[in-house]
Chains A and B, each alone.
Chain A
Amino acid sequence: MGEFKVHRVRFFEYMPTAIRAMSFNAHTERLALARVDGSVEVFNFADRYFQEKVIPGKDAHSIEALCWVGGRLFSAGLHGEITEYDLENLRPKYSLEAYGGPIWTIISNPQGTHVIGCEDGTVKLFEVLAEGVQFERNLDRQKGRIISLSWHPSGTRIAAGMMDMIRVFDVLTGHAIQRLLVDRSVGGCKSRETVVWTVVFLSDHTIFSSDSAGKVQVWDGHTGTLVKTHQLTKWDVLALSDESSVVAGTSEGTVVQFQFIAPNLQQQEKEWVRTRTFKNHTHDVRALVEIGTAIVSGGMDTQLVVRPLLEKFEEKCFASGLRRIHFPHRNLVSCAQKARLLLLQFPGQLELWRLGESDGHGKPGDILPLKTKPEKLLYLKRKGKDHICCSALSSCGGWLAYSTVSSVRLYRLQTDNNISITKVPKLPKVLRSAHQLCFSSESSYLFAASSQSSVLVISLNQSECKYVHTLKPKSGMWILIYRLCVAVDGKWLATANSDCEVHVYNLQKLELHCMVPMYSSCPSAMGIHPTTNNLTMVHADQQIFEFSIAEKQYTVWSRKLQMQGLHNLWLNRDTPVTHVTFNPKNPDQILLHDMYMFCIIDQSLPLPDQKTQFYNQMTLRSLSEQERPSHLHAFKVCKSFQDLMCMRLLDDQSLVVVERPLMAINSQLPAPVRQKKFAT
C-alpha cells in the first residue's frame, strides 16, 4: 500500500435532519424525500438508490407533505403555501398561498390532475395545470384541524383524519357524508384528544386509520362502522401506506405490515391480518412508502431504510438486501491541498479549518503526537434565509465560494498570519446560483454548473472576477448537471448530468470536445488524471471506467477491467464512491472512498478474479517479503477509518480522512420513546 501519514479528522459536526415525508413515483421510479429543515432529496430507485438531486431548504419553511403529479413534485407545509419544484434547476419554481392557514397534508388524485391542500378545517381542491396550480373549490368546512387525507382510487370520495374522528366527503357535492368516531386511548389520559395521523382509503371502500393512541383501525367506508382494531403500541402510529398491503409506522421505530389474506387454510374469506413487524429504526417512523417489492421508511433517526419484501424475490441479489442510507451521496468537505485547509459545509454556515501538524515518525498503526493542533480559522454564516447548496475552496486556499438557490458569493481569503476574508463585489449577472462549484488548480478560473444545464467559466484575477464563457451541450434539453471535475493542467472539464451523460469540454477552445459512451448508471464520482488526462468514472452501480480524453475512447486498462469483471465483494458494497483522486508521486494509483472504506487501485498490479481474496491487506502483512508479490492485486482496501465523509491526498503526501461516527450523530438525536424492558 505504501505508508501515508493520515490526518484523522473528527471535528466535522455534521448533523443530518429528520425525515418528515416521502412520496414514490412508480412511473419514473424516483423517491422524493422531505426533511424537517425543508430540504428535498430525490433518490433514483432504478440506479442503486442513488441520491440524484438535493434541493436545499429555507429557514422557517418546514415541509409537512410531498406528492408527485406525473413528473412534477409538489410540497406543502405549515407556512400555508403549496410549492412546486423545478427539478432540473434544483430550486422551488413557485409558491402558491393557499389562504387557509397551515397545511398539514397534500395528496394527488390517482387520475393525476387534482392536488389537495388541507388546513385548519377546510379541504381545498386545486387543479394542476400546465403552468401551475389553480384553486378550484372548498369542500364543507369542518370544526377542527384536518391532519390527513386520502383519495378513494375512483376519485369520488375523500377520507379525512381529524381530531377524534374521520370524515368521509363526497367530492362532487362537497358534503361530509360519513363520520367515524375514533376512541380515545384505553387507560392513559382520556382527556387528551386522539389525533388521526393518517388515513388510507382502499378501492373496496375499506378505510384504514392510524392514530395517536397506538391503534390501527379498519372501517367499512359504506356503512361507517368499525370492522377491526389492532392495538399496535402505546405510542402514536404516525405513518400508513398502501399498495398491495397496508404498512404502519410507529413512534417506537417499528413498521408493521397488514395483508388481506385468509387467516386459515380452510377459510375462504379474506380479512386484514397483521403479518410482519420490522424494527429498523430507533426513533419515530414518520414517513413510509410501500413500493411493491420493498418498504421504505424514514423518521427521526435520519436514516432512510429500504426493507425488501423477500417473498417478491426469487434469488438473492442486490435489491433483496436491507439498505440503510445515512450520508448524502456528495461531498460536503472541500480541501485545499496546498494550503492544508478544510472547508466544511453546513446548511447554515461554512467553517474553515487548518489541519494540525506532526513531525513524528512511527510504524503503521501508531498515533503520532501533534506539533500544532487543528484550528478553526473562520466561521462564515450565510446571508439570507436560503440554505447553502454547494461550496468550494481553491487549492491554494485563497478563494472561497458558496451558492444558495438565490445567490452566489465569492470571497478572497488570506490565511497566512492574519486571517482575513473579503467579499468579491459585483459578480457577473449570469452567476445567479450554482449546483456545483469548482476552482481550477492554479485558482485562475471558477467553474459553476448553473441553470439550463450550462457551465459558467469565470476568470479570477487578484480580487475580482470576470465572466468568460458559457459551456453548453449540443442538445437543447435542460438536464441537471450534478458533478464537475477539472483537469489539473486546466485543459479539460468533465460534467455529469442526471441523464447519465458525461460531457468533456476543451477549456482552451471553450467548446465541447466529446461525449463519453452512455452507460445505464449515473457516475457517482469522477476524476481526471494529472498526467495522462484519463477520466476515471465510478458509477452508482460500482462499475469503474477509464476514458482517455485525448483518444476519445476507453483505455486499455479499462477494457481489461471490464473483460475480467469486478470482484463480487466490490460490486455488492452498500454505499457509492463519492470522490476519486490521484497521487502525483505515483501515476499508477487511483484513490477513492465510500462511507465504509477507502481504496487505492494500483494499475500496475494484476486485477483480482472472483476467487482471489479481495480484502487481503491483513493477509499480506502476515506474509513474508518473498511471498507477498504473488498475492498482490490491484485493489487495496482499508477499512480502519469508518463513517467517512471525505478522503483527500494533500500535497505533502499525507492523507486526510474526515470521519463522522454514527454514534456521535445518534447521541444528538431527539428523544425516543421510553420502553420499559424486563430486568433493566
Chain B
Amino acid sequence: NKKALLPPPPLNSSARSRICIQILPMEIYHGNASSKKVNCAKITKEFQLHLDSSDDDGPEEVTFEDSKTSALRSMKEALETTKREKELLKEKRRKRQELFQKQKVGQLNKLGFSKNVKLHKKKKTNISNPFCSRLKGNYSVMRVATQSATKSQQQTAMDFIQSRLYGPGSQRTTTNQLLSLQNKRGQNKSAAVQFVNEKWAKAEQMTKRWIHKQKVPSN
C-alpha cells in the first residue's frame, strides 16, 4: 500500500528565498535504513546546493532527461522497497512457523513421546511431523472417546427441532409474560409477575436472553 515515490518538487525561485524543509514521502517509509540514508543524503545535498547558489543567479536548468531519469529511478526504488519488505515479511512468517513447530514438539515430548524422541535421536528423524514417527516398544495410539458420525447426525437433528420450535420466526416469549397476562386480565387485576415476585425478575431476564440467543441462527 505504499504510495509511489513522488519526484522531488522542482527547485524554483520561491524556494530560493526561504529555507524550506519538506517532509518528503520517502521519509515515512519503514524501509531499509540504508535507503533512508541515501535519501537523506540526497536531501542534504540538494539543500546544500541550494544554499550555495547566490540570490542573483538565474534558476538552475533542469533538463527533461534529468527529471525523467530521476522519476524512473524513484519508481524503481519504490518497487524494490516493496519487494524487500515482502521478503522480510515472508522471512518473519517462516521463522514464526518454525518456532511454533519447535514448541509443538516440545509439548509432545512433555506428554510422553519423549521416549520415542530419545530412541530416534541417533536416527535424526524429522521432528517437524511427530505423528508420523513409528512407535517402538509397547506403545499404541488409542482414541479416548469415539466421536462417531451418529453423534454429529444426532446433533443436527436436535438443532433442527430446536430451531423450528424456538429459533428465528418462532415468536416466543417468557413464562413471566404469560402469567402476567393472566394477572392483568383476571378478576383481580394486578401487576406483571416480575414486579409482584422478586425471584421472577431474574428468571425473566434469563429466559429473554435465551430466546434472543435462539433467534440468532448459529449457522
Contact of A667 with B by CB under 8 A = yes
**B153 touching A673, Cβ below 8 Å:** no
Please tell me which one of the listed residues A120, A666, A669 contacts residue B153 in the complex, with CB atoms under 8 A apart: A120
Q: Which residues of B contact A192 (CB under 8 A)?
A: 169
Minimum CB–CB distance from B141 to chain A (whole Å) comes to 26
Please tell me which one of the listed residues A78, A235, A672 contacts residue B178 in the complex, with CB atoms under 8 A apart: A672
Contact of B146 with A by CB under 8 A = no
Bound-state CA distance A633–B197 (Å) is 39
**B154 touching A671, Cβ below 8 Å:** no
Which A residues from 638 to 667 make CB contacts under 8 A with B? 663-664, 666-667
Minimum CB–CB distance from B157 to chain A (whole Å) comes to 4
Given A195-B164, A667-B199, A680-B185, decide whether A674 and B150 contact each other with a Cβ distance below 8 A: no
Minimum CB–CB distance from B120 to chain A (whole Å) comes to 41
Give the size category of A's interface with B: 35 or more
**A234 touching B175, Cβ below 8 Å:** no
Q: Which residues of A contact B177 (CB under 8 A)?
A: 672, 674
Please tell me which one of the listed residues B156, B157, B181, B207 contacts residue A671 in the complex, with CB atoms under 8 A apart: B207
Minimum CB–CB distance from A11 to chain B (whole Å) comes to 13
**B166 touching A670, Cβ below 8 Å:** yes
Q: Which residue of A lies closest to B176 (CB)?
A: A667
**A677 touching B185, Cβ below 8 Å:** yes
Bound-state CA distance A120–B154 (Å) is 11
**B153 touching A672, Cβ below 8 Å:** no
Contact of B174 with A by CB under 8 A = yes
Please tell me which one of the listed residues B154, B171, B197 contacts residue A78 in the complex, with CB atoms under 8 A apart: B154
Q: Which residues of B contact A680 (CB under 8 A)?
A: 181, 184-185
Which B residues from 131 to 188 make CB contacts under 8 A with A? 150, 153-154, 156-158, 160, 164-166, 169-179, 181, 184-185
Please tell me which one of the listed residues B157, B170, B181, B197 contacts residue A102 in the complex, with CB atoms under 8 A apart: B157
Q: Which residues of B contact A666 (CB under 8 A)?
A: 175, 179
Minimum CB–CB distance from A451 to chain B (whole Å) comes to 30
Q: Which residues of A contact B175 (CB under 8 A)?
A: 282-283, 666-667, 669, 671-672
**A102 touching B154, Cβ below 8 Å:** yes
Minimum CB–CB distance from B94 to chain A (whole Å) comes to 45
**A667 touching B203, Cβ below 8 Å:** yes
Bound-state CA distance A283–B166 (Å) is 12
Q: Which residue of A lies closest to B202 (CB)?
A: A667
Bound-state CA distance A674–B171 (Å) is 6
Bound-state CA distance A671–B176 (Å) is 9
Contact of B47 with A by CB under 8 A = no
Which of B169, B174, B178 counts the most A-chain CB atoms under 10 A from its CB?
B178
**A671 touching B173, Cβ below 8 Å:** yes
**A671 touching B169, Cβ below 8 Å:** no
Q: Which residues of B contact A145 (CB under 8 A)?
A: 157, 160
Bound-state CA distance A284–B177 (Å) is 15
Q: Which residues of B contact A104 (CB under 8 A)?
A: 157
Given A667-B199, A671-B210, decide whether A101 and B150 contact each other with a Cβ distance below 8 A: yes
Contact of B200 with A by CB under 8 A = yes
Minimum CB–CB distance from B161 to chain A (whole Å) comes to 8
Q: Which residues of A contact B157 (CB under 8 A)?
A: 78, 101-102, 104, 120, 145
Minimum CB–CB distance from B173 to chain A (whole Å) comes to 4
Q: Which residues of B contact A282 (CB under 8 A)?
A: 175, 178
Which A residues from 220 to 270 make CB contacts under 8 A with B? 234-236, 251
Given A671-B207, A677-B185, decide whether A212 and B178 contact each other with a Cβ distance below 8 A: no
**B150 touching A79, Cβ below 8 Å:** yes
Contact of B105 with A by CB under 8 A = no
Interface of B is mostly: helix
Please, what's the 1-or-0 string for A428-461, where 1 marks a CB less than 8 Å from any CB in chain B?
0000000000000000000000000000000000
Q: Which residues of A contact B179 (CB under 8 A)?
A: 666
Minimum CB–CB distance from B133 to chain A (whole Å) comes to 36
Minimum CB–CB distance from B167 to chain A (whole Å) comes to 10
**B164 touching A671, Cβ below 8 Å:** no
Bound-state CA distance A79–B155 (Å) is 9
**A80 touching B164, Cβ below 8 Å:** no
Q: Which residues of A contact B160 (CB under 8 A)?
A: 145
Q: Which residues of A contact B174 (CB under 8 A)?
A: 671-672
Q: Which residue of A lies closest to B172 (CB)?
A: A671
Bound-state CA distance A671–B185 (Å) is 20
**B171 touching A235, Cβ below 8 Å:** yes
Contact of B71 with A by CB under 8 A = no
Q: Which residues of B contact A283 (CB under 8 A)?
A: 175
Bound-state CA distance A668–B171 (Å) is 18
Minimum CB–CB distance from B176 to chain A (whole Å) comes to 7
Please tell me which one of the listed residues A188, A236, A677 contacts residue B165 in the complex, with CB atoms under 8 A apart: A236
Which of B165, B197, B207 counts the most A-chain CB atoms under 10 A from its CB?
B165
Minimum CB–CB distance from B163 to chain A (whole Å) comes to 10
Q: Which residues of A contact B154 (CB under 8 A)?
A: 60, 78-80, 102
Contact of A477 with B by CB under 8 A = no
Q: Which residues of B contact A668 (CB under 8 A)?
A: 203
Contact of B211 with A by CB under 8 A = yes
Bound-state CA distance A60–B148 (Å) is 14
Bound-state CA distance A251–B169 (Å) is 14
Q: Which residue of A lies closest to B206 (CB)?
A: A668
Q: Which residues of A contact B170 (CB under 8 A)?
A: 235, 673
**A189 touching B150, Cβ below 8 Å:** no
Q: Which residues of B contact A672 (CB under 8 A)?
A: 172-175, 177-178
**A675 touching B181, Cβ below 8 Å:** yes
Bound-state CA distance A373–B156 (Å) is 47
Q: Which residues of B contact A188 (CB under 8 A)?
A: 169
Q: Which residues of A contact B150 (CB under 8 A)?
A: 79-80, 101
Q: Which residue of A lies closest to B204 (CB)?
A: A667
Q: Which residues of B contact A62 (CB under 8 A)?
A: 158
Bound-state CA distance A673–B171 (Å) is 6
Given A79-B154, A667-B199, A680-B181, decide whether A674 and B169 contact each other with a Cβ distance below 8 A: no
| Chain A residues with a Cβ under 8 A of chain B | 60, 62, 78-80, 101-102, 104, 120, 145, 188-189, 192, 195, 212, 234-236, 251, 282-284, 663-664, 666-675, 677, 680
| Chain B residues with a Cβ under 8 A of chain A | 150, 153-154, 156-158, 160, 164-166, 169-179, 181, 184-185, 197, 199-200, 203, 207, 210-211
> Can you list 9 residue pairs at the A/B interface with Cβ under 8 Å?
A80-B150, A80-B153, A667-B176, A668-B203, A671-B207, A672-B178, A675-B173, A675-B181, A677-B185
Closest 3 CB pairs of A and B: A674-B173, A102-B157, A671-B172
For the complex with contacts A101-B153, A674-B172, 11 further pairs of A-B residues with Cβ separation under 8 Å are: A101-B150, A102-B154, A120-B153, A192-B169, A666-B179, A667-B200, A672-B177, A673-B172, A674-B177, A675-B178, A677-B185
